[in-house]
Chain A
């Protein structure tokens, strides 16, 4: 089960929920100031404390750059952590959506990433690991400021709650500008995707962060569904948008990621509103991840390779769709 190819609650709008808990240990410097024997000691302590958690230790020094990039593209680690050269370690419970980055900018970053609207479950999952770690490690903490981390602007709970949502219909009309007043932040991403987050702050609890995020995302999702219903009032225009995008995705011989994202967004819109013969939203998530830069072979033009992979993934459905519609088949050697 990966967040990008698995159906979750409110999966028509909310693709994934992520909770990251940052914890630093007393007595050790942050980030690259932690080196040599102290770094080894810290990594050893954390790894040992979490040895009963059913996680797999990944030897990052043995991974190719592409594999590290893949972990970052799957949001299991930060790109900064992937690019570090100092010894560090990653503990993975990929089937549970869990990852623990040890020895990054902060000593420990525990991330739970689940499909759909699942902020509460992700928080519960991540905090279980924190409790395990708390048994044998002294967290850096202040009763006024909360958990002390390397980032002076991220104290308090040191917990970041976020959701990845898809807004192909309401997009620019969503109330994103008002989120800051609710203590939330919104970041636009390609493909009509938005990341909505509830950052940490001394004075609010983790439950309040989760509720703010879930509540506001729920309202945004409701607006998106209304906007989608309005689109359905003009079915020809809607089908043209979706199937035009589907046709290009299935037929192009060259595709940059920048070109792909709006097409993918339109096809996903079609899939969630139930247009026939399209890949499911979960399949589309898997297809997108399979054509990210880290997943493409090294040899060859990545844009050409991406397009080939998309054709292979999308064409069987297109062929089936044509067959059912009585359209004469496509005459290429790939058929």
Chain B
């Protein structure tokens, strides 16, 4: 049984959220979670430890995750091709990697 609400562990500071104007405490908007990350850390740690979300992911993050995984796979393939001195194959992988990286950058700027 929790005798103390984790909310009381939220650190106080003189800052105000740029979106909603809230001070550190109960979040007044989604931006509060990022802006007050330091102030909220003790409370979030008490509640959740070191969390990593494993549930459903929003569409925009899911696509970003897929792109990042693809880039990581291509980098591994490129390293393996170079190590095996399969330079022609490595060139093809390098081109695919550049394409994937360009797509990711374009998506980050809202161009995709």
Binding site for B on A (CB under 8 A): 24-30, 33, 127, 130-131, 134-135, 138-146, 148, 150, 152-153, 155-157, 159, 201-206
Contacts and interface: CB of A to CB of B under 8 A. Distances in A.
27 contacts: A24-B30, A28-B29, A29-B19, A29-B20, A30-B20, A30-B27, A30-B30, A33-B20, A33-B28, A140-B30, A142-B34, A142-B53, A144-B51, A145-B44, A145-B51, A146-B53, A148-B30, A148-B33, A150-B27, A152-B27, A155-B51, A156-B53, A157-B56, A202-B48, A203-B52, A204-B54, A205-B56
A155 B55 contact: no
A138 B52 contact: no
Contacts of B59: 131, 134-135
Contacts of B34: 142
Contacts of B29: 28-30, 33
Interface of B: 6-7, 19-20, 22, 26-31, 33-34, 40, 43-44, 47-49, 51-61
A289 to B, nearest CB: 33
Given A142-B53, A157-B55, A201 B48 contact: yes
Given A29-B19, A30-B27, A143-B61, A152 B51 contact: no
A130 to B, nearest CB: 8
Nearest to B57: A141
Nearest to A204: B54
Contacts of B52: 143-144, 202-203
A203 B53 contact: yes
Given A145-B44, A152-B47, A206 B58 contact: no
A132 B86 CA distance: 46
B19 A159 contact: no
Which of B20, B33, B53 has most A Cβ within 10 Å?
Answer: B53
Contacts of B31: 27
A150 B60 contact: no
Contacts of B44: 145, 152
A30 B47 contact: no
A152 B46 CA distance: 11
A130 B62 CA distance: 14
Contacts of B7: 152
A138 B61 CA distance: 10
Question: Lowest 6 A-B CB distances belong to which pairs?
Answer: A140-B30, A202-B51, A146-B53, A157-B55, A29-B20, A29-B29
Contacts of A140: 30, 33
Contact of A156 (B19, B26, B51): B51
B27 A159 contact: no
Contacts of A33: 20, 22, 28-29
A32 to B, nearest CB: 10
B27 A145 contact: no
B6 A202 contact: no
Nearest to A28: B29
Contacts of A24: 30
Given A30-B28, A130-B56, A146-B55, 8 more contacts: A24-B30, A27-B19, A33-B20, A145-B51, A152-B26, A152-B44, A156-B51, A202-B53
